[in-house]
Amino acid sequence: MKYFNNVGKIAYEGAKSKNPFAFKYYNPEELVAGKTMEEQLRFSVAYWHTFTGDGSDPFGSGTMLRPWDKLTGMDQAKARLEAAFELFEKLNVPFFAFHDRDIAPEGDTLQETNENLDTIIALMKEYMKTSKTKVLWNTVNMFSHPRFVHGAATTCNADVFAYCAAQVKKGLETGKELGTENYVFWGGREGYETLLNTDLTLELDNLARFMHMAVDYAKEIGYTGQFLIEPKPKEPTKHQYDFDAQTVMAFLSKYDLKDHFKMNIEANHATLAAHNFQHELRMSRVNGVLGSVDANQGDTMLGWDTDEFPTDLYETTLAMYEILKNGGLGKGGLNFDAKPRRGSFEPEDLFLAHIAGMDSFAKGLKVASKLIEDQVFEKIIDDRYGSFKEGIGLEIISGKANFRTLEAYALQNKPINNKSGRQENIKAILNQYLLEF
């Protein structure tokens, strides 16, 4: 234990605790809705923000003080890994997630790059022998290097497509080697800047070809992790192909891929798509494709991906409501795809930020579980759609009605009566639950 000497093991001390390095709501062993909090929440640390992020922005260089930054190359990669397992143990998190290039640097050739990866993966396996922390998901970075300037699987350059295939092939082998629970596809540069130079059909067909190759290869090598697609509407490209959950579902249906993928829903990507977090979770849930969650939050005043640690209890409660209604996340989890602000640059801030996120979701879980136990929204919704349980409504639902019978009904019907939707009252009830439980 040498990277975070000022921080010990983070324990649950309860809501009255004033200790910043303690959980106030997250009590891993506590039972909520039939499972422990640890099992319900399945927290994961994002390797990129936590161990490689330097705090740079378009206007200034990095600010983060990280003990491993004295080193470079593979020495730095090894130190980061050691620091990672120290943080996992102190935070007591069950999972982490990474891109290939987060854990090991690129070499001069693809072969050298793969060798660097092999060295780190072997070391990671060693750490995992004595650690409880497993990999929630792995993925590959097909967006940072200049070779991806025109896209990855949707590039105009076939050599780049081939390179990406090699990279994902290695990613799936890594997933198998480490027993990762999921494999994520986030289309970093899969989108376009202008249609004036874009063959939209070819790009989308190629994206589907690529996904089919991935499905086939996973099957061939016996990789059993769940495949996830992570929607995002914009950034880095102006128009990302995986705009939102509904767009991705349409793509999967069109290309006969829908049996193989679920969604990894990120809160900040939902808001960038002009939805809210709950919308994307609900849309995925009701279509049976809610797979995992990137737990963060955006800023309503900023139009870009700020990846803040989630602290908005309203959002975490409604997210946990969807997740509980989904029967949990299965192989998925709550991955903190989030970074401390540029001004929160000390190593301790990594702990404080995760504690804030974990406590916010723990509280959300408790409130959501109570809301479901009391059937608060269920009763409201049941009552609101009551007209479909009898009479003409029942005929519509059961398929007996058609335009003629409905016209006949409408012609003889008395004036139509609507009832109030009572939105303000419902929000007040939600507030009562938030303050009480």
Using rule CB under 6 A, residue 50 touches ligand XLS: no
Q: Is 202 exposed, middle or buried (0-12, 13-18, 19+ CB in 10 A)?
A: exposed
Using rule CB under 5 A, residue 100 touches Ca ion: no
Using rule CB under 5 A, residue 242 touches Ca ion: no
Return the one option of Ca ion, ligand XLS, none that residue 262 interacts with (CB less than 5 to 8 A, by type). Answer: none
Q: Which is nearer to ligand XLS, 25 or 241 (CB)?
A: 241
Enter the tokens of residue 61.
């260089």
Antiparallel, parallel or unpaired: β 290-294 and 334-336: parallel
C-alpha distances out from residue 104 to 48, 119, 262, 414, Å: 11, 9, 28, 72
Among 266, 280, 308, 359, binds Ca ion (CB under 5 A): 266
Among 190, 203, 294, 315, binds Ca ion (CB under 5 A): 294
Q: Let me know if 99 is a catalytic residue.
A: yes
Q: How far apart are CA 44 and CA 66, in angstroms?
A: 20
Using rule CB under 5 A, residue 280 touches Ca ion: no
Q: How far apart are CA 183 and CA 187, in angstroms?
A: 13
Q: Let me know if 275 is a catalytic residue.
A: no
Q: Which is nearer to ligand XLS, 265 or 430 (CB)?
A: 265
Among 86, 173, 280, 337, binds ligand XLS (CB under 6 A): 337
Contact 93, 44 (CB under 8 A): yes
Using rule CB under 6 A, residue 266 touches ligand XLS: yes
Among 100, 190, 242, 305, binds Ca ion (CB under 5 A): 305
C-alpha 128: how far from its chain's center? 23
Binding marks (x or -) toward ligand XLS, 89..108, rule CB under 6 A?
----------x---------
Q: Within positions 311 to 350, which residues make up the interface with Ca ion, using CB under 5 A?
A: 337
Which sign does the torsion angle of CA 104, 183, 279, 295 carry? negative
Contact 76, 103 (CB under 8 A): no
Enter the tokens of residue 187.
């289309």
Which distant-in-sequence residues (6+ apart) come within 8 Å of 24 by Cβ? 13, 14, 15, 17, 359
Out of 100, 102, 305, 337, pick the active-site residue. Answer: 102
Return the one option of ligand XLS, Ca ion, none that residue 139 interacts with (CB less than 5 to 8 A, by type). Answer: ligand XLS
If you write DSSP's letter for every residue of 118-134 in order, what string do you get?
Answer: HHHHHHHHHHHHH-S-E
Binding marks (x or -) toward ligand XLS, 224..263, rule CB under 6 A?
------x-x-------------------------------
Among 100, 203, 242, 305, binds ligand XLS (CB under 6 A): 305
Which distant-in-sequence residues (6+ apart) come within 8 Å of 305 by Cβ? 232, 235, 268, 269, 272, 298
Return the one option of Ca ion, ligand XLS, none that residue 102 interacts with (CB less than 5 to 8 A, by type). Answer: none
Out of 49, 54, 69, 99, pick the active-site residue. Answer: 99
Active site residues: 99, 102
**Positions in the binding site for ligand XLS (CB under 6 A):** 99, 139, 184, 186, 230, 232, 266, 294, 305, 337
| Positions that interact with Ca ion (CB under 5 A) | 266, 268, 294, 305, 307, 337
